[in-house]
Amino acid sequence: MASASATLLKSSPVLDKSEWIKGQTLRQPSVSVVRCNPTTPSALTVRASSYADELVKTAKTVASPGRGILAMDESNATCGKRLASIGLENTEANRQAYRTLLVTVPGLGQYISGAILFEETLYQSTIDGKKIIDVLVEQNIVPGIKVDKGLVPLAGSNDESWCQGLDGLASRTAAYYQQGARFAKWRTVVSIPNGPSALAVKEAAWGLARYAAISQDNGLVPIVEPEILLDGEHGIDRTFEVAQKVWAEVFFYLAENNVLFEGILLKPSMVTPGAEHKERATPQQVAEYTLNLLHRRIPPAVPGIMFLSGGQSEVEATLNLNAMNQSPNPWHVSFSYARALQNTCLKTWGGRPENVKAAQEALLIRAKANSLAQFGKYTGEGESEEAKKELFVKGYVY
Instruction: Report pLDDT for 41.
Output: 46
Instruction: Report pLDDT for 39.
Output: 47
Supply the pTM of this predicted model: 0.86
Question: Which helix (DSSP H) or strand (DSSP E) does residue 234 occupy?
Answer: none
Instruction: Report pLDDT for 310.
Output: 80
Catalytic residues: 225, 267
Instruction: Report pLDDT for 8.
Output: 44
Amino acid 374 reads Q
Residues lower than pLDDT 50 in the chain: 1-12, 22-42, 392, 396, 398
Q: What share of the chain is helix, strand, coil (3-state, %, to 5)?
A: 45, 15, 40
- Nearest alpha-carbon partner for 147 in 122, 124, 126, 125: 122
Q: How far apart are CA 389 and CA 398, in angstroms?
A: 20
Amino acid 27 reads R
Contacts of residue 253, Cβ cutoff 8 Å, sequence gap at least 6 = 205, 206, 208, 209
Dihedral sign, Cα of residue 281, residue 398, residue 65, residue 214: positive
Other CB atoms within 10 A of residue 259 CB: 25
For residue range 330-360, what is the model confidence (pLDDT) as tens digits? 999 999 999 899 999 999 999 999 999 999 9
